[in-house]
Amino acid sequence: MATPHNTASIGEIAETVIMSGDPLRAKFMAEKFLENATLFNTTRNMFGYTGTYKGKKVSIMGHGMGMPSIGIYTHELYHFYGVKQIIRVGTAGCIQPGINIGDIVIAQAACTDSNYINNFLDIPGTFAPIGNFDLLTAAAKSSKDMNIPYHVGNILSSDIFYDSKENWKKWQKLGILAIEMECAALYTNAIEAKRKALTILTISDNIITKEETSSEERQKAFTNMMKVAFSII
């Protein structure tokens, strides 16, 4: 059974999916970590692969940029393909001192400036999307065991990439660790579907100092978060 965005048949996608915004990063992970990987989706060049990692069946797929995009792909994975847990690996810009380029941020929860949640849930208040506790604690332990610098806390999923008003300074005062563009939608979809989700980020940019990395580094060099993701499946 295909969807408008995924040509996979039922059974071709594993119950655990590791996702990245960049489909080329998904391709890189499949080639680096999976055995006997097969391509199950090329629609819109949003590549998806299924193979095995240390004997466990796992799928890898891109999800695009922004909450509408990840919202579509993860909804279909949870509701049409029987996926039980999604681990997002992505990049983010840090807004707190003491967090360095290359460090990992494990998202305990995700604030947002998007209207995605308001349209998705009819509730008389503000919903707070959080990650799965078991996955989060496993990722923190794995990072510690592998001596990978990591931070756990609240992040911001923003619709705005070019922040001309420097609103990040307001979020910084509230202790937000880093900014990306997808996690709040992922966590909301997972909670609504009664499934699991976790976001593991590598700091690619320092919004305070303006330090940044290249697109090639973001695609291929940030393997620590990938190692952590695969270690907890």
The residues assigned a catalytic role are 205
Record the tokens describing residue 31, joined without a space: 């080639």
Inter-residue contact 155 to 178 (CB < 8 Å): yes
Record the tokens describing residue 189, joined without a space: 């979809």
Give the CA distances from residue 189 to residues 18, 29, 68, in Å, rounded to whole numbers and listed in that order.
Answer: 15, 24, 11
Inter-residue contact 180 to 90 (CB < 8 Å): yes
143-182 residues labelled b (16+ CB within 10 A) or e (exposed) = beeeebebbbebbbbbeeeeeeeeebeebbeeebbbbbbb
Nearest residue to 69 via CA among 165, 224, 180:
180
